[in-house]
Amino acid sequence: MSHVEHRAAAPVSVRCAVLTISDTRTVDTDTSGRAIADLLAGAGHVVHDRRLLPDDPAAVRAQVAAWLEFPGIDAVLTTGGTGLTARDRTFEALDGLLEKRLDGFGELFRMLSYEEIGAAAMLSRAVAGAARGRIVIAMPGAEAAVRLAMTKLVLPELGHLVREVRR
């Protein structure tokens, strides 16, 4: 099957969980998590759960692991904690959970970011992969970065990704 046929056979609606990882944001100031949820809903996907946690790797890993065990969730999307500061530890929290990494996600995201912000794009440790038959995508915390990743990468392929990981 071609990628076109794969997309045609992919689910139109994917059930998602959204996690914002931040030591400073609140539910009211979480524009990135809200953008993910709004863009998913606008594309016909279901946001089953949305939460906000501080940048604590153990808590992040526990929440994502719990969602990976929940039968009503196909994809987990996170925002925040993908940079280089001492508190940015999302990559470390998720890396051990991923059974298969989708290196192309991070590579493409950084390429697209480079077009917008220049060499600073290399500071992102955005990552995606598969775990326990689910898709996991970790995006930066900036709303502009989230919108870029969602519109150019995630939304065009989310159903296709879920189809492939289920096979």
- If one counts the domains in the chain, the total is 1
Q: Which stretches within the chain are classed as H helix?
A: 3-9, 31-42, 57-69, 90-95, 103-117, 143-149, 155-166
Element (H, E) at 134: strand 134-139
Residue 64: the pLDDT is 98
Q: Determine the Cα–Cα distance for residues 37 and 18; give it in Å rounded to an integer.
A: 7
Q: Using an 8 Å Cβ cutoff, are 64 and 126 in contact? A: no
Residue 127's SS3 state is: strand
Provide the residue range defining the domain that includes 11: 3-166
**Model pTM score:** 0.96
- What one-letter code names the amino acid at 36? I
For 63-102, write each residue's pLDDT tens digit. 999 999 999 999 999 999 999 999 999 999 999 999 999 9
Q: 14-73: per-residue pLDDT in tens?
A: 999 999 999 999 999 999 999 999 999 999 999 999 999 999 999 999 999 999 999 999
Name the band, by pLDDT with cuts 50, 70 and 90, for residue 9: confident
Query: What's the confidence (pLDDT) of residue 7?
Result: 82
DSSP letter at 86 equals: T
**CATH code for the domain of 90:** 3.40.980.10
Which pLDDT score, from 0 to 100, does residue 2 have?
78
CA atoms of 79 and 81, how far apart (whole Å) = 7
